[in-house]
Structure 1
Amino acid sequence: MTPGARISAAISLLDRIATGEPAERALTNWARANRYAGSKDRAAIRDHVFDALRCRGSFAALGGGDQGRALMLGMLRAQGLDPDALFTGEGYAPEPLSAAERAALTLPAPDDLAARDWPAWLRPILQTELGDDFVAISEAMRARAPVFLRVNLARGTRDQAQAALEAEAIATRPHPLAATALEVTQGARAVQRSQAYLTGLVEVQDAASQAAAALLPLAPGDRVLDYCAGGGGKALAMAAACPQAHITAHDADPGRMRDLPARAKRAGAKISQSPPGALGAGYDLVLVDAPCSGSGTWRRTPEAKWRLDRARLEALCELQSQILSQACDLVAQGGALAYMTCSILRAENEDQLARMVAKGWSIQQAQRFSPLSGGDGFFAAVLRRTQ
């Protein structure tokens, strides 16, 4: 495919996503219907689509509209590229620019481009909550997120993992957020085909998520419950950090854990699964990695930020409160309750802790992880009942 044809494909995909079709589904369906497109074509089109979703507000301002065509024009303008070289109308390239489009591209760029890449209703909330970091975090969230790996110390050291990956042309560097974290600097798309991954030496996991897991109080023999396990990333991290702990994974939707047995086998981890209603109680540690807005991960899932509204955020906060109330009853006397979100919003983090303190819990530690540190935005806290 020519560069112009890739732009055309991205335009059509962005218009489909704007109607409500999930981005991943749209990309998958497009690839199935256009099998002539090679892996490099698919990767380039995917990059165009996700760049436009991350920067939809600023690209719309630069390109003169929020339809797929205008967003691609805004992207080219942001990158300092000449749209006439790609919008030629030749072959499968987009049609040449109209007079109105040319006029829009000559308008001065707004001063607040980065801020425009947050939903308008959320912008003043973030300006208040992030304070002096608002501009820097806004800029960071417009860029593609790094790929991080967690080294499974039950399988080998970080140096051994780096060497194994290097042998398969995957370059990495240690990341300061966590002792187990490697940032992939070259060959990210080959990770899940590598022997280091297939043999359980490394697992894909964000560095901030790894750092949050490292805060958890784990001891040999502890009964540990990952209450909202999902795919099981935190359960796997805990099993690697403390193999002598007895870890149980649970999720309200057991289908989310369908890949966990295979992942645990690959990692050499012992993790039990408990269906709803069969949990028992008396756990030394209960981890609630709660459903949330995902605002700290919007570099990876940018369409989610444009679909979040006030009502959805309020519903999520209510759900988080309900889950925390349920989890409280599962903690043993003297045990710990851990709360985590991949959100940067106070309503989902500190405000939830304040409610727990009012119910008789004390905060042992709480930490925010900012995208400025390289990983995702993340929040983690450990609480105990006040005696």
Structure 2
Amino acid sequence: MSRFYSYINSATAIIQQYNGAEPLAAFLKKYFTSNKKYGSKDRKQISHLIYCYYRLGKLVVEGDIQERLLAGLFLCSNQPQPILEALRPEQNQHIAASLPEKLAMLSLPLDLSQVFPWHDQLSDLIDAVPFSVSHVRQPYLFIRIRPGYYKTVTTVLQQQQVPFTVMSETCLALPNGTRIEDVISLNKTAVVQDYSSQQVAGLFTLLPHNKPLKVWDCCAASGGKSIMLWDHFMQLDLTVSDIRASILTNLRNRFAEAGIKQFNSFIANAVEPVPQIKDGTIDLVIADVPCSGSGTWSRTPEQLYYFETGKIGEFQKLQQQIVLQTSKAVKAGGYYLYITCSVFKAENETQVALLQEHGFTLVEQQVLKGYEQQADTMFATLLKKN
């Protein structure tokens, strides 16, 4: 019994030290490195407690940190928990119950719609309550199988006894935490890419296929969208840029593993003129812009817990600068693909309206409701320049 109280006390101490200034995963790694007394099982139990604490987001739980820890552990777990078995066995017996049933069992008045309380600022078509409630469940790990490798990948996963669910002929869902890099040849046969991110490929079918496209991925990050576009077209005049040198190094490594050899890459700040890109010369600009990341907070719940709405305006201003600058590169009749992993209208529909004011026509707009598949929620819009 004392061991489980020790877990709670350790989790409480960590929460009191953590302020959200860095990713929780990085903070926990440093904390446990500095405190060698914790074994692997201890670290796993304490980390799970802490993540459950933050998964409750902005929900107010009456009582101390311990009450929120235990309530979070019960609501966010679907497998028996040793801590609950020791301290609240009646809850552990119903760990697989539905969320309404679990809420009924708790003596606390909890409204899970308040986990994410900014309902009035959501993009159109997002269902506020299901989206809010989805944060108490950890998303799956998704991989996108590259062309020609479906049998190879699924056979290896079966041989290694790695459980997976087939989402489509190119997408598999795996338990979060699966060390997929130890099982398959990442980037060669498959890439780690969220389910909703993969759905953006549906917009690729609306692009012209009669000639190689001249493409600029202006906020390329690690290159996931560009690799997916390459797999769709198999031939591109591809240019990628990002403001971070380290990210571009990672991108080049991924491209090498993916067999993509013909491309241009350079460091660039997308809010400023880019000398390497001339106005009116690009068939397709991909702008997967920096954003609040609010559609991914079920993966990083500490960001939900510490988020303040003033950040929305900061991201909106940055996105506006990127949109106004990079859209100049699109030639007449060319396309602009605007993408965020945000759920806020100010970062989504508002920026699309800005593009429409500057000579673009809406082709198709998608709100990718990942919360229905334990995935990220994203926004993607394809526009054409008049």
Tell me the TM-score normalised to structure 2 length: 0.82
Which one of the candidate residues 256, 265, 281 is aligned to 1:265? Answer: 256
Alpha-carbon distance between aligned partners in 2 of 1:382 and 1:193, rounded to the nearest angstrom: 36
Q: Deviations 1:52-94 (Å, cap 9, x if unpaired)?
A: 1111444x51x514x4x3431332554698869359xxxxxxx
Alpha-carbon distance between aligned partners in 2 of 1:354 and 1:292, rounded to the nearest angstrom: 17
1:199-218 equivalence runs, <5 A: 200-216=188-204, 217=207
Q: How many residue pairs are counted as aligned between the two chains?
A: 353
Which one of the candidate residues 181, 202, 212 is aligned to 2:171? Answer: 181
Q: What is the CA-CA distance between 1:159 and the residue it aligns to?
A: 3.2
Alpha-carbon distance between aligned partners in 2 of 1:195 and 1:111, rounded to the nearest angstrom: 43
Q: Deviations 1:317-376 (Å, cap 9, x if unpaired)?
A: 111111011111111222111000001111111121112112221001111111343121
Query: SS in structure 1 opposite 2:367?
Result: strand
1:1-387 equivalence runs, <5 A: 2-18=3-19, 20-35=21-36, 37-58=38-59, 60-61=60-61, 64-65=63-64, 67=65, 69-76=66-73, 78=75, 85-86=86-87, 108-112=107-111, 114-118=112-116, 120=117, 122-126=118-122, 133-153=127-147, 156-176=148-168, 179-185=169-175, 188-197=177-186, 200-216=188-204, 217=207, 219=209, 220-270=211-261, 271-276=263-268, 277-281=274-278, 282-374=281-373, 375-386=375-386
Alpha-carbon distance between aligned partners in 2 of 1:354 and 1:265, rounded to the nearest angstrom: 37
Q: What is the CA-CA distance between 1:230 and the residue it aligns to?
A: 1.2
Q: Deviations 1:111-150 (Å, cap 9, x if unpaired)?
A: 52x12212x5x24434x9567x222222222210111001
Q: What is the CA-CA distance between 1:164 and the residue it aligns to?
A: 1.8
RMSD of Structure 2 on Structure 1 (CA): 2.8
Q: Which has the higher contact order (CA 8 A, sep 6+)?
A: 2
Alpha-carbon distance between aligned partners in 1 of 2:208 and 2:198, rounded to the nearest angstrom: 14
1:64·1:74 contact (CA, 8 Å) conserved in 2?
A: no
Q: What is the CA-CA distance between 1:6 and the residue it aligns to?
A: 3.6
Q: What is the CA-CA distance between 1:173 and the residue it aligns to?
A: 2.0
Query: SS in structure 2 opposite 1:288?
Result: strand
2:283·2:330 contact (CA, 8 Å) conserved in 1?
A: yes
Alpha-carbon distance between aligned partners in 2 of 1:47 and 1:23, rounded to the nearest angstrom: 12
Alpha-carbon distance between aligned partners in 2 of 1:235 and 1:257, rounded to the nearest angstrom: 13
Query: SS in structure 2 opposite 1:26?
Result: helix
Alpha-carbon distance between aligned partners in 1 of 2:72 and 2:87, rounded to the nearest angstrom: 12
In structure 1, stretches of 5+ residues that fail to align are 88-105
C-alpha distance 172-115 of structure 1, shift in aligned 2 (>3 A): same
C-alpha distance 163-38 of structure 1, shift in aligned 2 (>3 A): farther
Alpha-carbon distance between aligned partners in 2 of 1:167 and 1:55, rounded to the nearest angstrom: 37
C-alpha distance 200-84 of structure 1, shift in aligned 2 (>3 A): closer
2:330·2:385 contact (CA, 8 Å) conserved in 1?
A: no
Q: Deviations 1:238-290 (Å, cap 9, x if unpaired)?
A: 22222211222111233322211211111112343122234323111100001
In structure 2, stretches of 5+ residues that fail to align are 89-104, 269-273
Q: What is the CA-CA distance between 1:19 and the residue it aligns to?
A: 6.5
Which amino acid in structure 1 is aligned with residue 240 of structure 2?
A: A
Partner residue, 1:92:
none
Which amino acid in structure 2 is aligned with residue 379 of structure 1?
A: F
2:195·2:370 contact (CA, 8 Å) conserved in 1?
A: no
Alpha-carbon distance between aligned partners in 1 of 2:234 and 2:227, rounded to the nearest angstrom: 10
Alpha-carbon distance between aligned partners in 1 of 2:114 and 2:343, rounded to the nearest angstrom: 17
Alpha-carbon distance between aligned partners in 1 of 2:57 and 2:309, rounded to the nearest angstrom: 19
Alpha-carbon distance between aligned partners in 2 of 1:244 and 1:16, rounded to the nearest angstrom: 51
Alpha-carbon distance between aligned partners in 2 of 1:20 and 1:239, rounded to the nearest angstrom: 36
Q: Deviations 1:288-327 (Å, cap 9, x if unpaired)?
A: 0011111111101212223332321111111111101111
C-alpha distance 20-285 of structure 1, shift in aligned 2 (>3 A): closer
Which amino acid in structure 2 is aligned with residue 137 of structure 1?
A: F
1:286·1:337 contact (CA, 8 Å) conserved in 2?
A: yes
Query: SS in structure 1 opposite 2:164?
Result: strand
Alpha-carbon distance between aligned partners in 1 of 2:84 and 2:159, rounded to the nearest angstrom: 41
Q: What is the CA-CA distance between 1:188 and the residue it aligns to?
A: 4.2
C-alpha distance 167-34 of structure 1, shift in aligned 2 (>3 A): farther
Query: SS in structure 2 opposite 1:50?
Result: helix
Alpha-carbon distance between aligned partners in 1 of 2:307 and 2:266, rounded to the nearest angstrom: 31
Which amino acid in structure 1 is aligned with residue 367 of structure 2?
A: R
C-alpha distance 223-130 of structure 1, shift in aligned 2 (>3 A): closer
